[in-house]
Amino acid sequence: MNVGIIGSGNIGSTLARNLKALGNTVLIANSRGPSTLAEFAAETGVVAATVEQAAQARDLVIIAIPQLAVSNLPLDVLRANAAVVVDAGNYYPTRDGVVAEVEAGATDSEWIASVLGRPVIKAFNNIVANSLATRDALSGTAERVALSVAGDDVNAKKLVESVVEQLGFDAVDGGTLAESWRQQPGTPAYCKDLNAAQLKAALASADHAEIKRYRKEADEAAAPYLKPFKG
């Protein structure tokens, strides 16, 4: 596949490295420009690109940046691209400020889709980078970690699920984008290395009435490591 990754933090760089190792053409970009990614590109074989170039990837575009940074992306490019777009981010009020639509009940990915003006799939947000880098395992083994994939487009979801499987994880259907709150920060499914059966149970056990508590507790736990996004 031809894959663009926007965001070179821990999740973005891990996905870039591992997707390239699988034989894909991978473009990685950040807000600071391709020159800042030259060393990583030389090490991994990925292409250091501009954000506009990564946003034009033919098959898959993965966005792994702070939620509020999404509004700075080349929206016209992303809207014109037929590639599947994955939102791999999470909403943390300490970093992102208060997003009224999310606080009013939208999932963070529904809000992202509204900003982008196009559908997205939610994936790669409920695993820590170290587990994404090291916990891949052969299918059928007890150690195989599962990742949740949520979205409204069946074919787009299947594509992302196949990528999850190729990366060495079991893909679990997380439902529609409106149901992606079940894999958001603080929920039983968030950032725990669960197998497929355990992840399905964790997603099912999440309580919609507890969303604000989940978010508050996760935000407070992450606050020491987060800096407010400045644009």
CA–centroid distance for 182 within its chain = 14
Q: Is 148 exposed, middle or buried (0-12, 13-18, 19+ CB in 10 A)?
A: buried
Q: Are the C-beta atoms of 34 and 49 separated by less than 8 Å?
A: yes
**Residue 2 maps to a domain:** no
Q: Are the C-beta atoms of 59 and 84 separated by less than 8 Å?
A: yes
Q: How many CB atoms lie within 10 A of CB 142?
A: 6
Instruction: List, in sequence order, every beta strand (DSSP E) within 18-134.
Output: 25-29, 47-48, 60-63, 84-87, 121-122
Q: What is the CATH number of the domain that holds 112?
A: 3.40.50.720
Q: What pLDDT is attached to residue 76?
A: 97
> Tens of pLDDT along the chain (231 residues)?
999 999 999 999 999 999 999 999 999 999 999 999 999 999 999 999 999 999 999 999 999 999 889 999 999 999 999 999 999 999 999 999 999 999 999 999 999 999 999 999 999 999 999 999 999 988 888 889 999 999 999 999 999 999 999 999 999 999 999 999 999 999 999 999 999 999 999 999 999 999 999 999 999 999 998 888 776
Q: Are the C-beta atoms of 73 and 141 separated by less than 8 Å?
A: no
CA distance linking residue 99 with residue 92, whole number of Å? 10
> What is the residue range of 177's domain?
66-225
Q: What pLDDT is attached to residue 231?
A: 63
- What are the tokens at 37? 């990614």
Q: Provide DSSP, 111-174.
A: HHHHHHTS--EE-S-SS-HHHHHH----TT-TT--EEEEB-S-HHHHHHHHHHHHHTT-EEEE-
**Residue 26 maps to a domain:** no
**Residue 25 maps to a domain:** no
- Which of 111, 147, 107 shows the shortest CA–CA distance to 129? 147
Domain count, the chain: 1
Q: Are the C-beta atoms of 90 and 128 separated by less than 8 Å?
A: no
The partner residues of 121 in beta bridges, in order of sequence, read 86
Tell me the CA distances in angstroms from 101 to 26, 107, 115, 128, 189, one per residue in order.
33, 8, 11, 26, 23
**Residue 140 maps to a domain:** yes
Q: Give residue 20's identity as a one-letter amino acid code.
A: K
**Residue 117 maps to a domain:** yes
The whole-chain average pLDDT of the chain stands at 96
Q: What pLDDT is attached to residue 142?
A: 81
